[in-house]
Amino acid sequence: MLKRIFAIFLLMAVAGPVPGRAQDAAAPFDGDLQRLAEILGTLHYLRGICGTNEGQKWRAEMQALVDAETPSGERRNRMIASFNRGYNGFQQTYRSCTPAANVAIRRYLEEGSKISRDLTARYAN
């Protein structure tokens, strides 16, 4: 019996602590956060070419979202990939500000606001 306990202890000591996966586990609202990140990437690009002089405002909003959620590992990577997808998708489509770009900005501002309100109403304490 003592050998068995020693073997288990030795195995645990060699294996080390099991890394927690709780931070990488998907939250029920991750899909909404990823969509919001994509919208922020889109706004970062479109508002820049439309001369709003906001600088890094939308990128800073994305950073605040990442910091608030403190995602690490795969969650963080998915959020950043969503931001980049929004940015790159519109970078390939629009080279200058057009009326269609302004319509897209308005729609994304509305959708982003709605997602933010819904998330806050549903999950805020």
Question: What residues make up the domain containing 87?
Answer: 29-123
Q: What is the pTM of this model?
A: 0.77
Within-domain flag for 107: yes
pLDDT at 6: 30
Number of structural domains found in the chain: 1
User: 49 by DSSP, 3-state: which?
Assistant: helix
Tell me the backbone φ, ψ of residue 2, rounded to 5 degrees: -60, -40
Within-domain flag for 119: yes
- Tens digits of per-residue pLDDT, 2-49? 333 333 332 333 333 334 444 556 778 889 999 999 999 999 999 999
